[in-house]
Amino acid sequence: MTNHEFDVVIVGAGGAGMRAALESSQRAKTAVLTKLYPTRSHTGAAQGGMAAALANVEDDNAEWHTFDTVKGGDYLVDQDAAEILCKEAIDAVLDLEKMGLPFNRTTAGKVDQRRFGGHTRNHGEAAVRRACYAADRTGHMILQTLYQQCIKQEVEFFNEFYVLDLILDSDPQAAADGDEVAVAGVVAYQLSTGEVHTFRAKSVIFATGGAGKVFKTTSNAHTLTGDGMGIALRAGLPLEDMEFFQFHPTGLAGLGILLSEAARGEGGILRNSEGERFMERYAPTIKDLAPRDMVARAMANEVREGRGCGPHKDYVLLDLTHLEPAHIDEKLPDITEFARTYLGVEPYTEPVPVFPTAHYAMGGIPTNVNAEVLRNNTDVVKGLYAAGECACVSVHGANRLGTNSLLDINVFGRRAGIAAAEYANSVDAAPELPADADATVAGLVASLRETVGGDGTERVAQIRKELQETMDMNVQVFRTAESLAEAAGAVKGLRERFASIAIHDRGQRFNTDLLEAVELGFLLELAEVVIAGADGRKESRGGHYREDFPTRDDENYMQHTMAYATPEGLRMDWKPVVVTKYQPMERKY
Amino acid sequence: MTATAEKTEEVGAVESFTVTLKILRHDPDGLDGREPGAEYWEEFQVEAHATDRVLDALHAIKWEQDGTLAFRRSCAHGVCGSDAMRINARNRLACKTLLKDLNPARPITVEPIKGLPVEKDLIVDMEPFFASYRDIMPFLMPSGPTPERERLQSPEDRERFDDTTKCILCAACTTSCPVFWTDGQYFGPQAIVGAHRFIFDSRDDGEWDRLEILNDQAGVWKCRTAFNCTEACPRGIEVTKAISEVKRALTSGEV
Ligand SMILES: Cc1cc2nc3c(=O)[nH]c(=O)nc-3n(C[C@H](O)[C@H](O)[C@H](O)COP(=O)(O)OP(=O)(O)OC[C@H]3O[C@@H](n4cnc5c(N)ncnc54)[C@H](O)[C@@H]3O)c2cc1C
Ligand code: SF4
Ligand code: FES
């Protein structure tokens, strides 16, 4: 075991983690621990754009953006957080440009902007050009630019370090309201050696990204297994709004690889087997650019009602054939190449088979607007922060608008970095790590290694596959009490079977076999939280749609779900939504 | 799953067949009676569809036959740069290489990329590669006062370095370069691509600092224009063209 000490430890080197690191490392001794090389992070897969009311191409302002964010999130958004997001958006984009990000440009040389779903002029009048972009590689450019700046600032990275445990100075569930609970550090497993490291730190920032691998069809990377959320849950901290998962309408059929909404922003049209532009029926005003949850349900509904395409009538078509090939090449080069490479479809001349794909976790580790992690509805854990997709501020509410996440990671990544460093500089020392701080992780690793060649009969890959299949089948765009009960039963069974897995690799070095088992442990626990949240929310709102409760119920459910893991099982609670000026109204487009 | 192409029959029925993968393995721990660091070839048979990628086949091996097989991967659709490897003696991304494009009737050989120390199976030590990238100062170096709004740049100026912004640091180019294999000093094509991205950015004023580094011993003149890099690049970057633009800037003194 090796021990390290830093002022600030950042877990994750995607957009949120590196944006935080740029701030924190200027102010305090900072380490970034990441299970992937920074440039492998899934921020690099983001395509379409980053929202900011720059008004470079048409009239726009932060207040309109805030309204759209709140309405798009079906009024589950904390409005104080959304105001900050949209106000700080402008500097967030300009900061990236100054760091060197190669945005597409207008003829006047300014950052160009394009349309994206749910972003409108003057509270819903018409679509507005608000998404700043670099072709369909916006996330790639953000990730590269932030990494380049980290090189410039000589940020200290610990690459391929898997953080697996969070150490607090006291049990957050035993502490009374108002008592102080503080962070002491994290414990990590080094992939290259198999060694366990402890990091004592005054501040810790979680920026571990999403959990899309809970589902089978997903746009998320293999490595997006919700580790940060799972670690927080195990440490006794709550998770907020986990039932809200965004299913992006246009995943490549059968594969889940994303085709950005920019395809529709640039004029692409969804059609059913009759060639009908069916979104005209579901969202007469903004049609194909309605919020994602609406489009995804509309697509699933077309398929259910027999208007799907293909031999099994199980997808719809994204039609780009009326667009100029040169325009496609300029604005959508990567995603059209995905269609060619993986489906053998030529988007210039053929429509592309698409179906909803699990895309984004709106829920996560609850924080306030300073990115401080909450341990209940009101108290923060001193020195602990979270930002990016693993966090829930909540700026996305029940449904995230496209281009608001790249914004979120920059705005709240930056805030977390500043706050964490300032806090670290305000305290003398981090709490001492207990002598056995590494015990949980060392024990987990040892017990998995012992399964090699033992009597365990279960396979990690098989359990993961069954988990993902039951989640796709029962907890996707349509949910009912029955489907959720079925999923809950299945996950319970899988968790029992998980206790008797056997892995293959007992090696010390690059034991990815062992880590896949660890990751599956997180996925199973998170799936349970998603299902419990979905079961408890007997209404339909944003990305969460209950066929047995098809309308939104503000009287009972305009509140956030808070899930706590306790020795007796999950305990569910509620947290009020912050409303500043937008009273809930029906979400029509 | 992100890309496990198992359900592609929805997009037109695809037949399944058996394919053999012949993988160069490297065991750093020395398990099962091997010496630590032992290298050996091992063959695996997997059931696959024509539209499956090599990454799907590797996963099928790891998940169903031999969990000790080690390789890096994340995004599974060619954007994160994790899984460059030598497949049938050519550098490619496993997640972007379809089995049907490889003549699956014959065994498919899979080896780690060449020229970087092998750590385990298909995993190599990427540190020397990233060190070369860091050496060329891959960050914007503007001069003059910072403007309040964005720096302006015309679409034409933006276009000049567009190609090299696509790089995902996968190392397929550098580790396909015969000069890189034999010359311990040469920092390889990616570092030149990385420098090109800034040298030709109208907002940057560090071009001569970088050009000086590239003019050095380990630099751009080592390139023998073998074109392996351009062929290897999974992002379709014209690596050789970028290198020649850098050479031209050095000889003409103009960017
Ligand atoms: C295909 C796709 C396209 C998208 N397009 C857009 C778009 O156009 N606009 C938009 O706004 N949003 C988009 N999104 C959403 C957005 O990209 C993500 O929500 C966002 O990038 C997440 O950033 P992050 O920094 O939170 O996490 P990530 O970038 O996923 O980074 C997570 C980091 O955490 C590290 N990590 C994870 N677990 C551990 C652990 N146990 N120990 C140590 N490190 C760990 C990883 O190594 C990684 O560095 C898209 C998402 C996808 C999947
Ligand atoms: S230039 Fe191409 S091959 Fe080389 S590292 Fe970049 S993406 Fe990979
Ligand atoms: S897994 Fe990301 S490039 Fe292949």
Determine the pLDDT at residue B104: 82
Residue B181 within a domain: yes
Determine the pLDDT at residue B16: 86
Residue B1 has pLDDT above 90, yes or no: no
Residue B110 within a domain: yes
Are residues B98 and B46 located together in one domain of the fold? yes
Instruction: Tell me the residue range of the domain where B111 lies.
Output: 12-124
Segment A162-189, tens digit of pLDDT: 999 999 999 999 999 999 999 999 999 9
Residue B4 within a domain: no
- Cβ distance A256 to B29 less than 8 Å, yes or no, reads no
Please state the rounded mean pLDDT for residues B160-165.
98
Are residues B57 and B152 located together in one domain of the fold? no
Determine the pLDDT at residue B2: 40
| Residue from B168, B175, B230 whose mutation best tests the ligand 2 pocket (most atoms within 8 A of CB) | B168
Segment A27-80, tens digit of pLDDT: 999 999 999 999 999 999 999 999 999 999 999 999 999 999 999 999 999 999
CA dist B255 and B238 (Å) reads: 18
Task: Tell me the CA–centroid distance for residue A58 and ligand 1, in Å.
Answer: 30
Are residues B213 and B186 located together in one domain of the fold? yes
Per CB-CB distance under 8 Å, the chain A contacts of B31 are: 506-507
Per CB-CB distance under 8 Å, the chain A contacts of B130 are: 37
Segment A308-357, tens digit of pLDDT: 999 999 999 999 999 999 999 999 999 999 999 999 999 999 999 999 99
For the question of residue A292 being annotated catalytic, the response is yes
Are residues B134 and B244 located together in one domain of the fold? yes
Check if B82 contacts A (Cβ < 8 Å).
yes
In the block, which residue shows the tokens 């900011």? A52
Best to test chain B binding among A34, A54, A99, A105 (most B CBs inside 10 Å): A105
Task: At B240, list the tokens.
Answer: 């050789």
Task: At A252, list the tokens.
Answer: 């490549």
Segment B19-30, tens digit of pLDDT: 999 999 999 999
Determine the pLDDT at residue A1: 87
Q: How confident is the model at residue B72 (pLDDT cuts 50, 70, 90)?
A: very high
Determine the pLDDT at residue B14: 62
Residue B146 within a domain: yes
Task: Tell me the CA–centroid distance for residue B170 and ligand 2, in Å.
Answer: 5
CA dist A394 and A362 (Å) reads: 8
| Residue A187 and residue A164 in contact, taking contact as beta carbons nearer than 8 Å | yes
Please state the rounded mean pLDDT for residues A549-578.
97
- Cβ distance B151 to A98 less than 8 Å, yes or no, reads yes
CA dist A288 and A296 (Å) reads: 10
Residue B212 has pLDDT above 60, yes or no: yes
CATH code, B59: 3.10.20.30
**For A105, how many CA atoms within 13 A lie in the half-sphere containing its CB?**
20
The last residue of a domain, from among B73, B89, B124:
B124
| Residue B23 and residue B69 in contact, taking contact as beta carbons nearer than 8 Å | yes
In the block, which residue shows the tokens 């460093």? A421
Q: Chain-wide mean pLDDT for chain B?
A: 92
Segment A448-458, tens digit of pLDDT: 999 999 899 99
In order of B42, B64, B107, the CA distances from B22 in angstroms are: 6, 16, 6
Q: How confident is the model at residue A135 (pLDDT cuts 50, 70, 90)?
A: very high
Are residues B107 and B181 located together in one domain of the fold? no
Phi-psi domain of A161 (left: phi exceeds 0; alpha: psi -120 through 50; beta: other): beta
Best CA proximity match to A475, nearest among A455, A462, A461, A489: A489
Residue B5 has pLDDT above 80, yes or no: no
Q: What is the DSSP letter of A364?
A: B
Best CA proximity match to B203, nearest among B132, B136, B147: B147
Distance, first Cα to last Cα, chain B:
46
The last residue of a domain, from among B96, B124, B152:
B124
Domain count, chain B: 2
Per CB-CB distance under 8 Å, the chain B contacts of A339 are: none
Q: Report percent pLDDT > 70 for chain A.
A: 100
The last residue of a domain, from among B124, B155, B170:
B124
Chain A: give the shortest CA distance to residue B11, in Å.
6
Per CB-CB distance under 8 Å, the chain A contacts of B200 are: none
Best CA proximity match to A488, nearest among A474, A472, A503, A509: A474
CA dist A316 and A313 (Å) reads: 8
Residue A587 has pLDDT above 90, yes or no: no
Q: Chain-wide mean pLDDT for chain A?
A: 97
CATH code, B219: 1.10.1060.10
Determine the pLDDT at residue A24: 98
Count Cβ atoms within 10 A of the Cβ of residue B31 and give its class: 0-12 exposed, 13-18 middle, 19 or more buried.
middle
Are residues B155 and B202 located together in one domain of the fold? yes
Determine the pLDDT at residue B103: 86
Please state the rounded mean pLDDT for residues A224-240.
98
Task: At B69, list the tokens.
Answer: 């097989």
Are residues B103 and B143 located together in one domain of the fold? no
A552-580: string of b/e by CB count within 10 Å (b at 16+)? bebeebbbbbbbbbeeeebeeeebebbee
In the block, which residue shows the tokens 């049209």? A269
CA dist A123 and A582 (Å) reads: 11
Please state the rounded mean pLDDT for residues A352-366.
97
- The distance of Cα A262 from the centroid of its chain, to the nearest Å, equals 19
Residue A137 has pLDDT above 50, yes or no: yes
Query: CB count, 10 Å around CB of A273?
Result: 16
Residue A209 has pLDDT above 50, yes or no: yes
- Cβ distance B120 to A507 less than 8 Å, yes or no, reads yes
Are residues B246 and B174 located together in one domain of the fold? yes
Ramachandran angles phi, psi of B98, nearest 5°:
-80, 140
Q: How confident is the model at residue B13 (pLDDT cuts 50, 70, 90)?
A: low
The mean-pLDDT minimum among A255-269, A362-376, B67-81 falls in A255-269
Please state the rounded mean pLDDT for residues B219-233.
93
CA dist A12 and A32 (Å) reads: 7
Residue B7 within a domain: no
Residue B208 within a domain: yes
Q: Where are the beta strands (DSSP E) in A182-227?
A: 183-190, 196-206
Are residues B32 and B106 located together in one domain of the fold? yes
- Tell me which residues of chain B, numbers 148 to 207, contact chain A at a CB-CB cutoff of 8 Å: 149-155, 158, 161-162, 165-169, 198, 201, 203-204
Q: How confident is the model at residue A298 (pLDDT cuts 50, 70, 90)?
A: very high
Task: At A588, list the tokens.
Answer: 């029509």
Residue type at position B1: M
Are residues B114 and B44 located together in one domain of the fold? yes
Q: Report percent pLDDT > 90 for chain A.
A: 96
Task: Tell me the CA–centroid distance for residue A527 and ligand 3, in Å.
Answer: 26
Are residues B84 and B132 located together in one domain of the fold? no
Task: Tell me the CA–centroid distance for residue B170 and ligand 3, in Å.
Answer: 9
Task: At A413, list the tokens.
Answer: 């990544």
Residue B1 within a domain: no
Q: How confident is the model at residue A291 (pLDDT cuts 50, 70, 90)?
A: confident
| Residue A48 and residue A258 in contact, taking contact as beta carbons nearer than 8 Å | no
| Residue A101 and residue A111 in contact, taking contact as beta carbons nearer than 8 Å | no
Atom of ligand 3 nearest to the CA of B96: 4
Residue B5 within a domain: no
Are residues B152 and B240 located together in one domain of the fold? yes
